Amino acid sequence: MQPMLNIAIRAARRAGTIIIRSIEKRQDLHVESKAKNDFVSEVDRQAEAAIISILRKAYPSHAILAEEGGAQKGNEYQWIIDPLDGTTNFLHGNPQFSVSIALTKSNYLEQAVIYDPLRDELYTASRGEGALLNDRRIRVSGLGSLDGALLGTGFPFRMQEHIDTYLNTFKALYPFVSDIRRAGSAALDLAYVAAGRLDGFWELGLKKWDMAAGVLLIQEAGGFSTDFGGGNDYLKTGNIVAASPRIHKEILQTIQPHLSKGLKR
């Protein structure tokens, strides 16, 4: 296993331990609102500090982009961190949240870890070496069309001006699929696509730390991730479609006629 991936796993597990130990006292946690319906707790900050401490000790010259701590300059390597993806779920005791850590080199994704501490499920990927769930190789769904597909999604709570556009894409896809799930942790949703638990996923208005690790997992598991126009600007626009190759094409074709002109694809 790659040394850098090993360090990321250690950091993710340490953050997961902090999160698990805080579950029973979540009602007493200090919580702040970053924006409407966007919260940060002291657990987010503690988990992030633990991750950064481990990464900094191993690789002091690397840059860091973290959800709560912002950007820290460094060399060609950059760690992209979401210490608790699904904070709202965590604060309500809803068991769907995760730790997400990705590493880029010269803007190319190289390593990925998504950790579900409640289920002790560790999703990992290294560029060119495939994707794993708890050391077992995973692949995206083999389903050949949207017929019977189970999709994941997320509401654009950070970009409520686009809610009508989002609902139009939802209504366009819904008649063709088995069902659609909105679980509340985009990182974990993307990991589920990589593992074939979801056949596809789409969302708009995400941040880099929501997507980076999941994108590499899906690529290494044989799937595609693009922006709404079919390009590779999803980390910039925050808009992503991720799925197995056949279903990915169908999702794009289905939602594109319903995208508003003001939406960055």
Q: How crowded is residue 170: how many other Cβ atoms within 10 Å of its Cβ? A: 17
Q: At 260, is the secondary structure helix, strand, or coil?
A: coil
Pairing of strands 131-133, 136-137: antiparallel
Closest CA to 166 of 141, 230, 198, 174: 174
Q: Do 48 and 67 touch, CB atoms closer than 8 A?
A: yes
- Torsion sign over Cα 117, 120, 124, 130: negative
Q: Is 179 annotated as a binding residue?
A: no
Query: How far apart are the C-alpha atoms of 102 and 29, rounded to whole Å?
Result: 27
Query: How far apart are the C-alpha atoms of 104 and 63, rounded to whole Å?
Result: 10
Rg (CA), the chain: 17
Q: Is 82 annotated as a binding residue?
A: yes
Q: Is 67 annotated as a binding residue?
A: yes
Q: At 95, is the secondary structure helix, strand, or coil?
A: coil
Distance of CA 52 to the CA centre of its chain: 18
Instruction: Give counts: helices (H), strands (E), the chain.
Output: 8, 15
Closest CA to 237 of 225, 224, 248: 225
Q: Do 202 and 254 touch, CB atoms closer than 8 A?
A: no
Q: Is 84 annotated as a binding residue?
A: yes
Query: How far apart are the C-alpha atoms of 51 and 14, rounded to whole Å?
Result: 7
- Tell me the binding residues: 67, 82, 84-85, 210
- Known binding site for Mg(2+): residues? 67, 82, 84-85, 210
